[in-house]
């Protein structure tokens, strides 16, 4: 038996990570909800206010990621592998960064109108954040919640596939119908950032699946 496995038998795990990840999930869900509201907003002023709020939430997320790394540095026995904790914190931060990136691009580029697929993208991201919240809460008792976690990962994969289809059709329509080159460039940039946010959400679910396998 390896030393780390032997230690886990006799030394209690540091469970302080679970509330930190629960808080991370709450922050992510809050940011995605604000993004959804931003996409439904009708004025530049409303979008500017919401973009500022998302940036503030993103700063909260950065601080929390730093706290997770600090806790990792001082913890002796972790509930799952240290590299997986680091990867999970980093991937969650990536999702939040891309949510913020999309909102800041809209605020800075000031497109003439919100491209309709952006609203659908924001809904997908919000649904994915909700699934991630359930997955992260489920990790606290991975054995009991194994099936729920698996189903949540499948749901996120389905959302990612839906986002891919939306992205490809949206880009195709954008190049076909948008005659203003500047607006085309703006919308293409925003599109790419939204699509990456969903990709990063799937990365989080992949890391959680890896954790689940290791804990089995």
Answer yes or no: pTM beyond 0.85. Answer: yes
Residue 216 corresponds to which tokens in the numbers above? 């089995």
Q: Return the pLDDT at 14.
A: 57
Could you tell me which of 93, 91, 126, 63 has the C-alpha nearest to residue 208? 91
With a pLDDT cut of 90, the percent of the chain lying above it is 80
Q: Read off the pLDDT of each residue in 159-170 and give the average, rounded to a whole number.
A: 97
With a pLDDT cut of 70, the percent of the chain lying above it is 94
Residue whose tokens read 């969903």:
198
Q: Return the pLDDT at 75.
A: 80
Confidence of residue 152 (pLDDT cuts 50, 70, 90): very high
Residue 5 has pLDDT above 90, yes or no: no
Q: Read off the pLDDT of each residue in 134-144 and give the average, rounded to a whole number.
A: 90
Q: Summarize pLDDT for 112-122 with one digit per residue, the tens.
A: 989 999 999 99
Burial string for 39-54 (b: 16+ CB within 10 Å, else e) reads: bebeeeeebbbbbebb
Give, in degrees to the nearest 5, the angle at Cα 24 between 87 and 133. Answer: 95
Confidence of residue 9 (pLDDT cuts 50, 70, 90): very low
Q: Summarize pLDDT for 59-111 with one digit per residue, the tens.
A: 999 999 999 999 988 887 888 899 999 999 999 999 999 999 999 999 999 99
> What DSSP string runs through 102-127?
HHHHHHHH--SS--HHHHHHHHHHHH
Q: Enumerate domains of the chain plus CATH numbers.
A: 15-215 (1.20.58.220)
């Amino acid at each position: 038996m390896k030393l780390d496995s032997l230690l886990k038998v006799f030394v209690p795990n540091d469970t302080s990570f679970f509330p930190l990840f629960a808080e991370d999930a709450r922050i992510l869900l809050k940011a995605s909800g604000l993004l959804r509201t931003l996409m439904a907003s009708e004025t530049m002023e409303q979008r500017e206010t919401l973009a500022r709020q998302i940036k503030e939430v993103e700063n909260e997320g950065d601080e929390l990621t730093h706290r997770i790394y600090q806790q990792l540095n001082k913890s002796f026995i972790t509930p799952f592998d240290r590299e997986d904790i680091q990867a999970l914190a980093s991937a969650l931060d990536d999702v939040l960064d891309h949510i913020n990136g999309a909102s800041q691009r809209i605020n800075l580029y000031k497109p003439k109108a919100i491209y309709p697929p952006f609203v659908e993208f924001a809904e997908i991201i919000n649904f994915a954040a909700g699934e991630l919240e359930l997955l992260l809460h489920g990790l606290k008792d991975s054995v009991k919640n194994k099936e729920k976690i698996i189903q949540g990962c499948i749901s996120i994969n389905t959302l990612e596939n839906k986002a891919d289809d939306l992205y490809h059709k949206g880009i195709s329509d954008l190049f076909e119908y948008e005659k203003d080159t500047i607006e085309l460039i703006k919308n293409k940039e925003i599109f790419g950032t939204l699509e990456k946010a969903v990709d990063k959400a799937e990365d989080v679910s992949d890391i959680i699946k890896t954790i689940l396998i290791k804990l089995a």
